[in-house]
Chain A
Amino acid sequence: QSALTQPASVSGSPGQSITFSCTGISSDVGVDNYVSWYQQHPGKAPKLVIYDVSNRPSGVSKRFSGSKSGNTASLTISGLQAEDAAVYYCSSYADNSPHVFGGGTKVTVL
């Protein structure tokens, strides 16, 4: 059972925007700005797309954006493209671990 709660799946049409959540508690997601997001394609290692809640690593598309309110972080993908189809994981600091992960959200591009 994952420490952070994510919806199992989200879908959207090409060009649309989608947003999905990562819910924790006050002692993990709610603490500071220590949330990151990863994109994982089948058979590949996760790829960092957002760190420290809303920062994009160099080379990551501006279509990816992150935010946080209270104990819930969110990832938005705008202008959805076929290549965005993947599983997305959030991660946060927690009381008993520097890093805990969500269960993942499968993004389907219709």
Chain B
Amino acid sequence: QVQLQQSGPGLVKPSQTLSLTCAISGDSVSSDRAAWTWIRQSPSRGLEWLGRTYYRSTTSRWYHDYAVSVESRITINPDTSKNQFSLQLKSVTPEDTAVYYCARTIDDSSGFDYWGQGTLVNVSS
């Protein structure tokens, strides 16, 4: 059974960097079949896909895709030593206030089959 456990602060000041971590159990961040994603949800923006990271052994490379809306501010990094991946979002504003989720897709399926518990992040001074 795959479990995703999120951690990170619930309050970030404007202009600072939002940092969250998603610890994986029951799968590997280096899995050839999976992609590891961050999604956020707010009343104003609804559900919003932010980006993903995934590894493919055929090329021995890590890949990253980011949403156009945040691509200048976002970094998603895998940490193979801890079997987790992280989200960093720079220069946050109150508009970045949302519940942030990590999630998994597998085998190029359209569906996110496992989700973290969600972290409410408030951007406020």
Known pairs A45-B116, A46-B115; A101 contacts B47 (CB<8 A): yes
Q: Which of B46, B65, B101, B110 contacts A103 (CB 8 A)?
A: B46
Residue of A nearest to B44 (CB): A1
**Are B68 and A91 in contact, with the CB atoms below 8 A?**
no
CA distance A81 to B53 in the complex (A): 38
A97 within 8 A of B: yes
Give the total of A residues in contact with B, Cβ under 8 Å.
28
**Are A89 and B110 in contact, with the CB atoms below 8 A?**
no
**Are A45 and B117 in contact, with the CB atoms below 8 A?**
yes
Residue from the set B39, B46, B116 with the largest chain A CB neighbour count within 10 Å = B46
Residue of A nearest to B35 (CB): A98
**Are B48 and A101 in contact, with the CB atoms below 8 A?**
yes
Closest CB in chain A relative to B44 CB, distance in Å: 10
Where chain A touches its partner, the secondary structure class is strand
Q: Which of B37, B46, B49, B109 contacts A51 (CB 8 A)?
A: B109
Give the total of B residues in contact with A, Cβ under 8 Å.
20
B67 within 8 A of A: yes
A50 within 8 A of B: yes
B112 within 8 A of A: yes
Q: Which of B47, B48, B113, B117 contacts A48 (CB 8 A)?
A: B113
Q: Which of B49, B101, B111, B116 contacts A97 (CB 8 A)?
A: B49
Closest CB in chain A relative to B100 CB, distance in Å: 11
Q: Which of A2, A35, A46 contacts B112 (CB 8 A)?
A: A46
A34 within 8 A of B: yes
Q: A51-B110, A89-B46, A101-B48 are in contact. List 11 more A-B contacts (CB 8 A).
A: A45-B117, A51-B111, A51-B113, A57-B111, A91-B47, A97-B68, A99-B39, A99-B112, A101-B46, A101-B49, A104-B47
Binding site for B on A (CB under 8 A): 2, 33-36, 38, 45-48, 50-53, 57, 89, 91-93, 96-104
